């Protein structure tokens, strides 16, 4: 696929919460190019979570198109959409990213279980997972540790490794640094950028912290692209 | 790997999960144990008498005849005259015949008059013979052989004197004819354990000076005089009969039932035992029902545990969903958990049963005369275990469907 095609394209997307017809969200247009790093700035309550769910395909817009890597996700069956998400998108959340009872290794390779194509890109799972860990500055012997025993900073790096494994074209990070202190925040972001650039991965990060702006190719304010409606009934 | 994660999640909740497993294991062990005791009791019951083709007594009901002749419960309504007994004994089909004379007691135990042939002919537990543990069978008129329970309860040894009382609950003891314990039988688990066995003549001997249930005043015949007397009985209570060929059983039964001189009844012990078991069987159904309820309760407990774990596991489910797992994977994870819990519980329950059997087998045999065989699990038990696992899956479906709906609604974003 030529690079000129956007990795993510939202066009006139409208979503209304079922049972709450007065609360809705409208995105006239949003386009993210491959390998671009984009910061989506917005306060809580600006519809960030809803927007991410729409992109990931766990919510389906009532109208408009959500195109990820050239596919209109609304046209896929629910099962195909889940697999498509696993194939195309690496996800990092704010916190509680990992299955605490599972080993670091199992956490990292979890998305590959649901994404056969992504799995095929990884020749030697253990080696790749170990490389990602060391690239992200995690201790060498961490692979068999229980994820729940790690520090929050380490857990976020494991989550990053999980998002990066098998090089999905798009990584979505939802406030990944908000549970980290300032010093750890910076290291984490540097490592994440480094990896995203190394693999040519698009990084879409959501945050309320404008101080991160200068590290990204582009900064989008939620208010500019999203209109939320809260009209009284 | 998904299974490993499901297993890891279970292990992470070890405490609650192990409690659930323990509850299921105990309920399964109880259920299997009840089943084992039920079949064991039934088998022991059916094995009370074997090798005897017909039991003959005065005409009454077949269960009643069985009860008083074999189980020593209740009383005969009438006797079988010695003449009729002789007539039956002389029939060509009859291979052997053993008379039984009941009606006297020793302390709380019944006294049974019979011939030495009883020890050869009476069989229990598919053909096992009575074994004399100490001493020997009756050689003298005043010899008595006591069952294992009699000896144990009353602390009898060989050569101890015993006194036979007339009637069943009676204070008029036949003190003038003291008996001697000549032998003690091995434990059998049958009513023989609770019986004092004397010779047929001895029963007559103790009644020499008695008339209409009371001692004739001032009359007491010395033992050596009695020994000289003709002690041929007038009547016996019942008789155990063996035929020469099994084919003749029904013919002989018909002939005895139609005996013109006296109203008699001949029963097939196996058939009468079946009839009796059908009466006793209500208790067995009740036992089954109760232990089924216990298993159901344990499974519902498991359902409750899984339900209450759902909230703390919403994050786990959301992670699976975010990583691309379909909601059906979430459903499968919870079903797997339920099935695994039920299966471990069932297998542990089976283990508990065998531990219990190894410990309990001799105790139960001694105390109740119920022999519980320790075999590999029978097909029936395998089905029961499988049933528990399937029931676990069905019960697990309820919280699994709830998790399915939750994870559809939550998607990958759970704000906790």
Please give the C-alpha separations between residue A172 and each of A26, A39, A166, A204, B293, in angstroms, as whole numbers.
Answer: 20, 10, 15, 5, 52
The residue-averaged pLDDT of A191-197 equals 87
The residue-averaged pLDDT of A90-112 equals 88
Do B305 and B388 share a domain, yes or no? yes
Do B135 and B106 share a domain, yes or no? yes
Residue B306 DSSP one-character state: H
Do B290 and B170 share a domain, yes or no? no
Searching chain B, which residue's CA lies closest to the CA of residue A49? B413
Is the CB of A106 less than 8 angstroms away from the CB of B5?
A: yes
Question: In degrees rounded to 5, what are phi and psi of residue B123?
Answer: -125, 150
Q: Which of B221, B241, B267 is the endpoint of a domain?
A: B267
Do B17 and B36 share a domain, yes or no? yes
Is the CB of B412 less than 8 angstroms away from the CB of A58?
A: yes
Residue A22 DSSP one-character state: T
Number of domains chain B contains: 2
Range of the domain at A169: 34-48+78-221
For A138-161, write each residue's pLDDT tens digit.
888 888 899 989 988 889 889 999
**CA separation for the pair B59, B65 (Å, rounded):** 8
Q: What residues of chain A lie within 8 A of the CB of B324, using their CB?
A: 82-83, 85-87, 111, 114-115
Searching chain A, which residue's CA lies closest to the CA of residue B5? A102
Residue A231 has pLDDT above 70, yes or no: no
Opening angle at CA A106, ends B396 and B339, nearest 5:
15
Question: How close B303 gets to chain A, by Cα (Å)?
Answer: 22
Residues of B with CB under 8 A from a CB of A: 1-2, 4-5, 8-9, 11-12, 315-316, 319-329, 411-413, 415-416
Question: How close A11 gets to chain B, by Cα (Å)?
Answer: 22
- pLDDT for the residue A1: 41
Searching chain A, which residue's CA lies closest to the CA of residue B315? A96
Q: What residues of chain A lie within 8 A of the CB of B325, using their CB?
A: 82, 86, 113-114
Q: Could you tell me if residue B416 is inside a domain?
A: no
Range of the domain at B297: 2-45+281-410
Is the CB of B319 less than 8 angstroms away from the CB of A99?
A: yes
Do B172 and B209 share a domain, yes or no? yes
The residue-averaged pLDDT of A96-103 equals 87
Do B58 and B81 contact (CB within 8 A), yes or no?
A: no
- pLDDT for the residue B390: 93
Do B39 and B167 share a domain, yes or no? no
Q: Which residues contact B372 (CB under 8 A, 6 or more apart)?
A: B36, B37, B40, B357, B360, B361, B364, B365
pTM: 0.73
Is the CB of B4 less than 8 angstroms away from the CB of A79?
A: no
Q: Could you tell me if residue A181 is inside a domain?
A: yes
Q: Could you tell me if residue A8 is inside a domain?
A: no
Q: What is the ipTM of this complex?
A: 0.88
Number of domains chain A contains: 1
Q: Which of B267, B291, B314 is the endpoint of a domain?
A: B267
Q: What residues of chain A lie within 8 A of the CB of B317, using their CB?
A: none
Do B143 and B263 share a domain, yes or no? yes
Q: Could you tell me if residue A208 is inside a domain?
A: yes
| Digitized pLDDT (tens) for each residue of chain B, 416 residues in all | 888 888 888 888 888 889 989 999 999 998 888 888 888 887 777 778 888 899 999 998 888 898 888 888 888 888 899 999 999 999 998 999 999 998 888 888 889 999 999 998 898 877 888 889 888 888 888 889 999 989 988 888 888 888 776 655 444 555 556 788 999 998 888 889 889 999 988 888 777 666 655 666 655 666 666 777 777 888 899 999 999 988 889 999 999 999 998 999 999 988 888 888 888 778 888 888 888 898 888 888 888 888 888 877 888 888 888 888 888 888 888 889 889 999 999 999 999 999 999 998 888 877 776 778 888 888 888 998 999 999 999 988 988 888 888 877 777 665 54
Q: Could you tell me if residue B286 is inside a domain?
A: yes
Searching chain B, which residue's CA lies closest to the CA of residue A17? B409
Residues of A with CB under 8 A from a CB of B: 49, 52-53, 56, 58-59, 78-79, 82-83, 85-87, 91, 93, 96-102, 106, 109-111, 113-115, 148, 162
């Amino acid at each position: 696929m030529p690079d000129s095609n956007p990795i993510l394209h939202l066009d006139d997307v409208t979503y209304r919460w079922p049972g709450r017809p007065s609360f809705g969200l409208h995105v006239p247009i949003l386009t993210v190019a491959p390998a671009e790093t984009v910061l989506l700035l917005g306060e809580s309550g600006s519809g960030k979570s809803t927007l991410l769910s729409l992109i990931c395909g766990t919510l389906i817009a009532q109208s408009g198109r959500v195109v990820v890597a050239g596919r209109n996700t609304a046209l896929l069956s629910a099962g195909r959409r889940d697999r498509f998400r696993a194939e195309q998108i690496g996800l990092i959340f704010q916190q509680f990213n990992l299955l605490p009872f599972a080993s670091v290794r199992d956490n990292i390779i979890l998305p590959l279980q649901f994404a056969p194509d992504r799995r095929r890109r990884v020749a030697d799972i253990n080696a790749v997972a170990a490389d990602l860990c060391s690239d992200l500055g995690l201790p060498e012997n961490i692979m068999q540790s229980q994820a729940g025993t790690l520090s929050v900073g380490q857990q976020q790096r494991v989550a990053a490794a999980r998002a990066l494994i098998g090089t999905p074209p798009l990584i979505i990070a939802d406030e990944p640094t908000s549970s980290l202190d300032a010093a750890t925040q910076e290291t984490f972001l540097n490592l994440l950028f480094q990896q995203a650039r190394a693999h040519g991965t698009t990084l879409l990060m959501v945050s309320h912290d404008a101080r991160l702006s200068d590290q990204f190719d582009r900064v989008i304010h939620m208010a500019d692209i999203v209109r939320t409606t809260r009209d009284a009934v | 790997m998904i299974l490993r994660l499901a297993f890891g999640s279970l292990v992470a909740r070890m405490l609650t999960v192990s409690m659930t497993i323990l509850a299921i294991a105990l309920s399964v062990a109880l259920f299997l144990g009840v089943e084992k005791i039920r079949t064991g009791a039934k088998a022991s019951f059916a094995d009370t008498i074997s090798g005897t083709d017909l039991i003959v007594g005065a005409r009454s009901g077949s269960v009643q005849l069985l009860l008083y002749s074999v189980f020593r419960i209740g009383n005969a309504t009438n006797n079988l005259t010695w003449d009729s007994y002789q007539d039956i004994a002389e029939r060509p089909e009859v291979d052997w015949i053993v008379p039984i004379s009941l009606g006297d007691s020793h302390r709380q135990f019944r006294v049974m008059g019979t011939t030495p042939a009883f020890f050869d002919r009476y069989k229990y537990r598919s053909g096992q013979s009575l074994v004399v543990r100490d001493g020997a069978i009756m050689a003298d008129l005043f010899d008595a052989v006591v069952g294992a329970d009699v000896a144990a309860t009353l602390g009898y040894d060989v050569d101890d004197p015993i006194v036979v009382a007339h009637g069943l609950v009676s204070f008029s003891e036949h003190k003038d004819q003291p008996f001697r314990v000549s032998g003690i039988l091995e434990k059998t688990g049958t009513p023989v354990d609770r019986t004092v066995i004397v010779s047929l003549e001895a029963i007559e001997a103790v009644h020499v000076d008695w008339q209409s249930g009371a001692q004739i005043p001032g009359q007491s015949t010395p033992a050596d005089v009695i020994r000289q007397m003709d002690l041929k009985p007038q009547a016996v209570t019942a008789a155990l009969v063996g035929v020469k060929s099994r084919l003749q059983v029904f013919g002989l039964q018909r002939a005895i039932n139609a005996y013109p001189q006296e109203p008699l009844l001949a029963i097939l012990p196996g058939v009468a035992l079946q009839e009796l078991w059908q009466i006793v069987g209500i208790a067995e159904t009740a036992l089954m029902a109760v232990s089924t309820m216990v298993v159901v309760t344990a499974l519902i407990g498991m359902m409750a545990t899984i339900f209450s774990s759902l909230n703390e596991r919403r994050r786990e489910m959301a992670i699976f969903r975010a990583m691309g797992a379909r909601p059906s994977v979430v459903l499968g994870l919870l079903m797997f958990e339920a099935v695994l819990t039920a299966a471990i519980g069932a297998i542990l329950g089976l283990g508990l049963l065998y531990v219990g059997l190894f410990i309990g087998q001799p105790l139960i045999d001694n105390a109740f005369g119920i022999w519980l065989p320790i075999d590999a699990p029978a097909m029936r038990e395998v089905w029961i275990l499988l049933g528990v696992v399937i029931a676990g899956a069905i019960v697990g479906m309820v919280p699994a469907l709830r998790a399915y709906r939750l994870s559809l609604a939550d998607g990958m974003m759970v704000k906790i």
